[in-house]
Amino acid sequence: MDNVLKIEGMRKSFGKSLLYTLPMFLITFMFMTGGKPNFADTASALAMLIAFLLVNILYFLMHYTGKTDRYRAVLFIIFALSLSYTLIHNMVEVRKSMTFSQADILECKIPFCHLVIPMMILPAAFTKSIIFPGSIISGFANISSMVVLWLVATIVLGRGFCSWGCFYGGWDDGFSRIKKRPVIKKINELWKWMPFAVLIMVMLTAALSMMPTYCSWICPFKAVTEFEQVTSVESATKAGIFLSLFGGLVVVLPVMTRKRTQCSFLCPLGAINSLSNKITPFTIKIDKGSCNECFKCVEVCPLYALTHEDIKAGKVSLFCSKCGKCVDACSQKAIHYGIRGIPAGTMKNFSRNLFLFVSFLFMAIFSAGSIINTLHGLLKLIF
């Protein structure tokens, strides 16, 4: 009797893929237009149309080709670039500069980002206050709405937030795809615990100094958003640190290693999101029966979430951001999206479809505003 191993593919037919895309089509249309499409301004209408088509075509292709990562990455990278454009454009328009002044800090006008959240925890618990010069409820990127967004996303996606929600992750994700082969193939595995060390240190230093120390001193993404005016040796040092870390961890190392080194070796929020991987229903599972231990998945994983020992043990570490790169790379379809409670190797398509809908929907709606804004700005430049 023939012993043929049937490899369950993720590809769907054209019709089926369209059907799966229909809910995304309807929901994104509702969100982008607010239910009341307005085509009065041509540039706005065109921007909205392009953004709408972009997200839905990418989602369609995920189902039609059975591949996840390459289409996720397109939207993820565009999100990161468009958010930087939106922030910088707003600042230059309003303040004529990428820097914020002491007045902006005193008037609590700094937009809040989710990276502040780890530093808020201890002061919020002990002093019942937020140590950030932002707005609690009103205005762009206010504290309450960003906390809600992050909290829900991290409960639902776990560390998947780092590949489907974080508007900075697209930077090092993009740079990690430039070279076909890595120049630096091996980095000491000890470094992947660095985000936890950074998390402990920033939580402590922020609580004891009553200042968001990661934002003030370390955040590499200050280089592409906004930072303090350089008026002293201290602020010049800070600017130097931001630019160096951006250059090193976001540009150079990702290019050399084909890994997301900022996310793997620095980001303290990634450390917290790793812990929430324990509660999210969505996971990556390894079907040991199908796995031929080629370790291609280990090679392609951008966040050092897989090791040879993990594959042999049939489990994925808490660093996994569910980006789908390993799933796409596996020739045996042994590594796949799963749902907690469902045994590995079963209900693969169902698990993938459900996860993709949830995660892509979040990313599509979260990114829509800044993508439309960027397209609108570019169209106004062109026409």
Partner 1 sequence: MKKVKIIAGISWAFFCLIMIIILFPGLNSFSLSVSKLPFMKLNPRYTGGEIADQVISKSCTLDIRKPVFNGFLKERNSGFVQLDWHGTIPEIIKDSIDYDHDGIKDFCILIDKKNSKTVLEPIDRKVKGVLISTPTSYGWAVRIGLIK
Partner 2 sequence: MTDSFILGLSSGSACLATCGMVMFPYLMAGSAGVKRIAIDLSLFLLTRFVIYFILATVAWYFGQALFSNPVVRNIVPGILYIVFAIMLVWYSISKNRNPNCPAKIVKTVNNHRLVPILLGVVNSLGFCPALFIILTKGATQGTLIQSYIAFLAFFIGSSLWFLPLPLAGKIRKKEVLTNIGILATGLAGIIFMIKGLTNLIGGIING
| Contact footprint for partner 2 (CB under 8 A) | 190-191, 193-194, 196-198, 200-201, 204-205, 208-209, 233-234, 237
How far apart are CB 189 and partner 2 at their closest, in Å? 9
Strands 99-100 and 335-339: what pairing?
A: unpaired
CB 263 within 8 A of CB 164: no
Residues 215, 204: Cα–Cα separation, whole Å: 14
Q: Among residues 31 and 295, whose Cβ is nearest to partner 1?
A: 31
Q: Which is nearer to partner 2, 234 or 309 (CB)?
A: 234
Nearer to partner 1, 52 or 304 (CB): 52
Sign of the CA dihedral with 25 first, then 30, 35, and 39 last? negative
User: Distance between CA atoms of 76 and 69, rounded to whole angstroms?
Assistant: 10
238 vs 333, beta carbon nearer partner 2: 238
Joined together, the tokens standing for residue 368 give 């829509």
Largest pairwise CA distance in the chain: 79
Shortest distance (Å) from residue 273 CB to partner 2: 16
Cα torsion 131, 150, 235, 230: sign: negative
Minimum distance from residue 200 beta carbon to partner 2 (Å):
6
Per partner kind, with CB cut-offs from 5 to 8 A, the member of partner 1, partner 2, none near residue 36 is none
CB atoms within 10 A of CB 275: 14
Among partner 2, partner 1, none, residue 42 binds (CB under 5-8 Å by kind):
none
Which residues are near partner 1 by CB under 8 A?
A: 27, 31, 101-103, 105-108, 122-134, 136-137, 142-145, 147-149, 152, 155-156, 207-208, 210-211, 280-282, 339-343, 354-355, 357-358, 361-362, 365
Residues 171 and 260: beta-carbon distance below 8 Å: no
Which of 143, 69, 105 is closest to 352 using CA atoms?
A: 69
4 binds, among partner 1, partner 2, none (CB under 5 to 8 A by kind): none
Q: Which is nearer to partner 2, 194 or 329 (CB)?
A: 194
Q: Which does 200 bind (CB under 5 to 8 A by kind): partner 1, partner 2, none?
A: partner 2
Nearest to 290 by CA among 236, 325, 327: 327
Minimal distance in Å, beta carbon 222 to partner 2?
A: 17
Of 99 and 101, the one with the shorter C-beta distance to partner 1 is: 101
128: left (phi over 0), alpha (psi -120 to 50) or beta: left
Per partner kind, with CB cut-offs from 5 to 8 A, the member of partner 2, partner 1, none near residue 197 is partner 2
Residue at 308: amino acid letter: H
